[in-house]
Structure formats: C-alpha cells, structure tokens
Chains A and B, each alone.
Chain A
Amino acid sequence: MGYPHPPHPRETVLLSQYFGDPEARSLAGWRQRGGYRALEQALAMEPTAVTTIVKDSGLRGRGGAGFPTGTKWSFMKPGDGKAHYLCCNADESEPGTFKDREIMRWTPHALVEGCAIAAYAIGAETVYIYIRGEFTEPLQRMTEAVREAYAAGLLGPGAMGGKARIDVRIHKGAGAYICGEETALMNSIEGRRGNPRIKPPFPATAGLFGMPTTINNVETLAAVPHIITQGAAWYKAMCLSSPKSPGTKLFSVCGNVRRPGNYEVVLGFPFEEFLYDLCGGPPAGRKFKAIIPGGASVPIQTMDEVRATKMDYEGFVAGGSMLGSGGVICIDDAQCMVKQIGRLARFFAHESCAQCTQCREGTSWTTKIVERIEAGQGTPDDLDTLLEIADNMTGKTICVLSDSCAVPVVSGIQKFRDEFDAHIQGHRCPFRVAAAAA
C-alpha cells in the first residue's frame, strides 16, 4: 500500500498528522503521541458534559449529511433501561472517497478512542465498527488495535476506569455500497439484507436491534479526541468561511489530477487554490472539465462553477453542489462526459438494494439509456426521458440512492448538453473517434 504524500504547507494536519507513520499504529506508539489522554479526560466528566463540548465545538458529521454531532448524541436518553448502541460507519463506499480508510490504516487507535468517548457520552455499552469487506488492511489494523485496547483494559468489562463496560466489535461488510446508509448498515449488522429502513422511527429511538442507536462516521469520531483535549472553542475557531462549518476536514482527491490523495484543510478553504496549489491541478496538457466535489452522489460541476467555492457545507451548496463525503473527483477534458455519467449510473444501478420501484427500475433504465447514447444509438427524446426518469427518482424513495443516481444525470445533461447532442447527432462518441485517430 502506498504511503501518503508529505503534507502540503497549507494543510492543517490534525487527523492526518500521523498518516505514513507506522509507529502510530500501536497502542504504545499512539500513547507516545498523546493518545488516550482525551478518553481519560472525558471519563473525568459527566457524559452530558462530553456531549456539550462536542455540541459547542460545532463538529458536524463527516459522512455526508453534516448533521451536528453533539446534537445527534443528545438524542440518546441515558437511563431509559434499554441497551444503547454506537455504530461507527466505516463502510466508506462513496466513489471518490478514501479518507476513513487512511484513518483506520494509520491511526486505528484514534478511532478506538473516539468510539470509546462517544460511547461514554451516549451511554452505549457496545460499539460496532462496520468496516466494508474490501478494506482488508483497515480491518486488520482495527482488529489489532481493538485487541490491544482490550488487553490494556481500555475496553471490556473494567474499562473506563471502572466506570462503565464498553465493548468494541468489528463487523466486516460483504460488498454493498448501500450499507453505508445508516439503517441499511444496522440491518447488515443484524444479519439481514442491507435494506434501508423507513424512517421514522429514527435510530435514536429504535436503531440497531430495535434499541436507541447513534451512528457516526469514522472521521467524525476520530476528530472527537482532539476536541476533548483542546476544547470546543479551539475547534470552533478553526474556520475560514461559514461559522456553521468549523474544524478540519479530510478531502480525498482522485481522478485526472496531478497529485491525488488525502488533504486535510480547515473548512472554508478556497476550492480553486485547493485544486491547483495543493493537488497540482490537472495532468500536463489537460484542463479540468468537470469536478464532482463531494463523492459520486453530488451534482457535477464545471470548473467555472467551482472557482469561487469555499470548501465547507454552506460553500459547496452555494456553489450548486454539496460537500458530501469530501471525495473530490476530477475529470479532465480528454474524458467523455456521457461515458462517465453512464458509468456513475451503472454504479448506482449495481448498488440498488431493490426495495423501491423508482430505484430498482430507474437506476437500471437510466444506465441503459445513457450507455445507448454513448454507443451512438441515442435519439433526441432520450434526454427528455432521462430527465423525467430522474425527476421520478428524486425525493420519492426510502433512502437517497435513487436521488444520487439522478444527480449526475441531471447535472450532467444540464452542463454537458453539447456532448450528449454530439453523440446523438453524430451517432457515435466523438471521444472514441478522437482516440482512434490519435
């Protein structure tokens, strides 16, 4: 596995400080780097006080939705006599996103510590870390870290300084993007098909095994120890644009870009500078044609659209897209957008759980039409059909996978209509023709 790049001077390395440092992986190494001090500190507080700090820090969910973490924790009512669960979402499957993988590979104890603090705050005795099955190395690192933490008494019956029992279990996924959806993830832990559940009830009321459950992303939980040790005010002050979006965030950058990888910046960082200064811009001789700024589920944007974007929850929305999971997919001008939109649709069709009609049938139909257009067999009314199917697939299903498939299609047709038209009118893919000629 490749080592991460050395941090760019404009990065603010908090979560990624020890990426590439194999010593940080062990419990001893992690302790040397200040690990588990936050847990100790948290255990000296009342659980509600821990939640308050996280709430005051302004930390928001790093999995995609951006829900305030402390608020989410406060939904859990301790002392209701029920088992409480914490789920850590390490299913990281959003195309373009590979940040949680690196956290687990390099700093597994950061996640164990974050889980323990969160479990303490919400009164959960059991934490399930749901790691996608393809993450063989992260699974191995996390399993080892949990083993070490048990051996050191940080987890298990006498954990938390004898204050509470806490168990951390690693649950290995088996190949399903949709298990990154929180209720699908819970079904998967329960030994079911990864079907998203109808909400309400929300997980805080009836989640895993029907019990009150909180679910947080890896990156969110990994940020918690820093907030505990350095304080809510310190975290909240890390902000370059919207005060509603404080803290650092890992952005995964991939596709046609000179220096792909994970970059940690303070939220609100200017996107254009990020793309060109930190990531090195497009490959030599190429231009960025399209940027998908937050994983495959968010609207595709042109370079012109993203130029002024500030990299935070509000900034990406203002720019016409979303921060999502922070997976930045760069597409250069040698790529056929019709083909890439078809490829995205194919991904969602492959990953549809098959429950809702619009998703099961719509993702597949969309894929077939876009691929037919790409093959030169499209007709002008196909685009209207695609937009109408997309409308049908938006806001009408149990989860948002269907919407996610519609997003690249709608934004793609809006922004790259000329490419669709060229395929339809020329009855072939102009990029293939160009490639064949070259």
Chain B
Amino acid sequence: MITLTIEGRQVSVPEGTSILEAGKAAGILIPHYCYHPGLPVAGVCRMCLVEVEKSPKLAPACATAAADGQVVHVHSESALEARQGVLELLLINHPLDCPVCDQSGECELQDYTYAEGRRSTRYREPKRVNPVEDFGGDVVYVPNRCILCTRCVRFMETVAEDPVLNVSDRGDHALIGKFENQDLTHPWAGNVVELCPVGALLSKDFLNKARSWDMDRAASVCPGCSQGCNIVIETRDNVVARLRPRPNADVNQYFMCDEGRLNYRWLNRRDRVAEPLVRRGDALIPVDWEIAIDAAARTLTGRRVTAIVSPGLSNEVLYLLRRVLERCGAESEGVFAVRQGPEAPLPGVPDLAVRADRAPNVQGAELMGFRRTDAPLDAVRSGDVLLLADADLSAAGAAVVSGALARAADIIVIGTTVPAWAAGAGAALPLANMAEDEGTFTNLRGRVQRYRQAKSPPALARPGWSVLADLLVALGDPIVVWTPAEAFSALAQAHPAFAGMTYEGLGATGTVVADAREPRAVTAGIGA
C-alpha cells in the first residue's frame, strides 16, 4: 500500500493504482473523458491533468501511477486552466445543440463545461461538419459531437474483441469510422452508447424518447437471462423508457448485452390483468381482493395442485408459492420451464455472457424446490388444480394446452396477465411485474441480488409477496409479512441456502447463497 495526498486528503491505495483511481478512493472526482475503468488506458483526452508537487509538468491522472508521499492538486490554478483549455478545444467544433441532443442532462461535456468551462467561445471559424452515420445494431453516430475519446473503439477492440470501429483519418479530420457492411452487430455492442461520454453515439431505440431529467431511476437486475446483470430502469411518466447497465464487479462489470437492454417493452404492456377477478358463470368479473383471495384459497384447500411458475418471479414470491403448495393437498408439486436462447459471451470480461436460460431466477426456482421441465403442461394430472403463476406458456402447442386444460379440474391464475386459454380460470389475482415490485433474484452463480421498484403497478395489481402472504393466511398459514423485507427474512429463516442473509445486507451488489455451486432442490420442510 502507498499513501498519497489528493486535495489535502490522505488516501492509501495498492501499488500500481492510478492517481485517478486513488482520487476516487479519496472521494475526489478528477474530471476525465477517455478514461474508463473497464477499458485500457488511452490517456488522450488530457482532461485529467493534475498538478503533482515536485513534478515539472501536469500529469494525466489516468496514466500516472500514484506514488508514496505524492501530493496531488486537482483544483489548483494550473490544473483548472488546463481543463478549461481542453473544454474550450473540445467545444470549438462541437455543435451547441444540447436542446435536441439525447445526451443532454447526462453529458460529461455539458457537466464539466457548466462546472468549470469558459462562459463563451472565442472560436470564430467555421465548424467542422460531418453527416450522421448509422453504425448498425442499435447505434447511430453523430460525428459532430464526437470528442475522439476512443472509448468505443477500445471497447470493441479489447472487451468485445470485435474491432469493427476505428479512428479514421488524422488531425482535426479524425473521426470514428467503420467498414462498409461491418456493423455494430456484436451482441454487446450497445455498450458503446453507454461508454460515450457525449452525445456522439446514441441508441436508436431511445432516440428522442425522453430527456434525462424527466426520468426516474431505480436500481434493478436485468430480467433477461440468468446472468443477472445489474441495471438501472429508467422510467418516464410511469413508462419504462430504457435500461442501462449498473456496475457490479462480480457480475457484469460495467456492461449489459443488447438483448437485455432492448428487452423492456413487456414491462409496459397494456393488456394486463389489473383487478382481482373471480368466475361468475361464464365470465371473470372484478371483485374486491378479499373475495378473490378467498375464492382462490377455497379452490386450493385440500386439493392436489400443480403449480406452473415463472422463473422470472422473485425468490420471495417463489418461496411463498412453495409454502402455498405445502398448504394444499398431498402430491402437490411445482414446475417451471425456461425459455432458451443462444449464449453470447462478452470475451473481455470473465464469466459474463448472455446465458441460454433466458430468465433471471432459474436458480431461485430450483432452490425453492420447483422442478425444471421442458414440458410444464404435461405435469398437470387429471383432476389437478392448475395454479398458473405468471408462467409464459405461449410457446406450448395447442394440443398440449388443450390436453392440460382437459385434465385440470380448476385453474387459478396469479400473475400479470390472464392468457386467453386460461380464460376459464376460477380466479385471477393480478400481480405487479418486476419493474413494479421489489425483490430478489438468484443468478446462475448463486448471487442473490435485489431489484427496486421502478414504476407503479396498474389499478389494483399488487406485489406478489403481498398477495401470496394474504393467500397463505387464508389457507391457515400463520405467516406475518407486511413488507418485502419481511418476505425475504421469512425465506432466509427457512432456507439454509439463504441462512444469515438480510434484505438490507444484500446491498447494491448482492450476496452469494451458501454452497452456491450445487443448487439443492429443497422440497420439504422449508416452510415449517
């Protein structure tokens, strides 16, 4: 460890740490553009120049190793002047089009200019103008805004290991370029939008959709696959507008895949079941929650139940569902299916990939004793109550569905939608979806991670943990759960893999379950 002083604060960091990272450790942000902790150091923007005592020249904080006894000034006159110089030069050819730029409000050029830049420009010459270019994938390039930090080029080269971007030409003609017909189609290429500190690389999906200051943000976990990338859900007027990666060194570093990034529209779907429903004759009619819960409880009590659950439900909901099954008749069981897709690793980051299991809580479902199967409807036995817990069975063939319907004596739906084939259900309990709820998922490496509520659920839909707690009470279970934290704590007390965990203790980056390597199917006794 070495100890240095940055802006009067002493900080100790491991040898080899850059001054910039040491600054972060000391709580001091050294302004920068080209530096990114997930990329090799380029040292080209020259924004992070700092004054190091006894050093004749300003030093680039990103490319200078912290040294014992070093005294670093970030806000000295010479460092500030250097930054102002960089800002002025970055702006001479930069259009002043912040009012129509998607990056506005979250633009590092805007932020630092506002904080430290000159009040007006001295540049009187014509600006450099180049046409907007479609880079393929979800990415569009606006060269006029580009500051040539090369983060995108370095990401594609060293992290995605698919160098389709380059710096073309030189001098002030230089641009980010690509080759004809070789687009940003890499499954992780969308990260260049995130990495771009200005509005030069934009998401086509998000183009002109929302201003950054109009959006609300919630820390969450990507529901797209079992990797469990940490994300931020951004909503505008209660509508999810985009997903962005949130750093977690143990899971996704700074990145998320394009599939996950763009797979959010289902969180906004309008065909939701929004009120508790019970069957009256041929129709499902809206009723009060108590009536619907009672109806569901009466149907389940003492019956043999086959629950088909979604591996996209939280650990807590799955745990409570498991307890529900234990209150039902003998031989009740729960199954789930996992939608599959092609794996796509991000080569530059160890153990990071779009996983074949396209659901966020496969591990959690297994830990809660649900049986994984490719044909969940086949599990329905003659005379069963089919408890459909938000599982997506749209891939099942019509014959399989009608066979299961013929065998099932009753259907209870607990979920966000009532599929058309389940219109004959006896009761439907509307749930909040993952963006409307909070809870935890267990990723494929056994990491239990929290996601927060990003928007409110429609009408009378309620969080799953709350609905199931009520249902359990109606089934005679003595459980007392008033908050998601209590739901988690009930799970942690009952399940050895979660022993000792607390909801708060999971923090922003999660905790790994005990004995994570071998997922255990716990089928009995966990609710006792």
Contacts and interface: CB of A to CB of B under 8 A. Distances in A.
A358 B172 contact: no
14 contacts: A193-B170, A349-B172, A354-B169, A354-B170, A355-B44, A360-B171, A361-B92, A362-B89, A365-B123, A368-B125, A369-B125, A381-B122, A392-B88, A398-B43
Interface in A350-402: 350-358, 360-365, 368-369, 372, 381, 385, 388-389, 391-392, 395-398
B167 interface: yes
B82 interface: yes
B125 A365 contact: yes
Given A352-B171, A360-B174, A365-B123, A396 B89 contact: no
Contacts of B89: 357-358, 360-362, 365, 389, 392
A391 B173 CA distance: 23
Contact of A193 (B124, B167, B173): B167
A357 B167 contact: no
Instruction: Give 8 closest A-B pairs by Cβ, nearest first.
Output: A392-B85, A354-B174, A364-B172, A361-B89, A368-B125, A355-B44, A352-B171, A198-B43
Contacts of A389: 85, 89
Interface in B42-76: 42-47, 49, 57-58, 60, 63
Contacts of A364: 171-172
A344 B26 CA distance: 44
B46 A358 contact: yes
Contacts of A198: 41, 43, 60, 63
B380 interface: no
B44 A357 contact: yes
Interface string B104-130: 000000000000000000111100000
A357 B86 CA distance: 6
Nearest to B63: A198
A332 B42 CA distance: 43
Interface residues of A, number: 32
B147 A365 contact: no
Interface of B: 41-47, 49, 57-58, 60, 63, 82, 85-86, 88-90, 92-93, 122-125, 147-148, 167, 169-174
B167 A361 contact: no
B125 A396 contact: no
A356 B42 CA distance: 10
B46 A356 contact: yes
A397 B170 contact: no
B82 A354 contact: no
A357 B45 contact: yes
A360 B122 contact: no
Nearest to A362: B89
A360 to B, nearest CB: 6
B123 A357 contact: no
Nearest to B56: A395
A289 to B, nearest CB: 28
A11 to B, nearest CB: 38
A351 B173 CA distance: 11
A357 B171 contact: no
Contacts of B57: 395-396
Given A352-B171, A365-B92, A397-B46, A357 B147 contact: yes
Contacts of A352: 170-172
B172 A361 contact: yes
B152 to A, nearest CB: 15
Interface in A318-368: 349-358, 360-365, 368
Given A352-B172, A357-B147, A369-B125, 15 more contacts: A193-B170, A198-B43, A352-B171, A354-B148, A356-B45, A356-B46, A360-B148, A360-B174, A361-B92, A361-B172, A365-B89, A372-B124, A389-B85, A392-B89, A396-B46
Contacts of B169: 354
Given A361-B90, A361-B92, A395 B58 contact: yes
Contacts of A398: 43-44
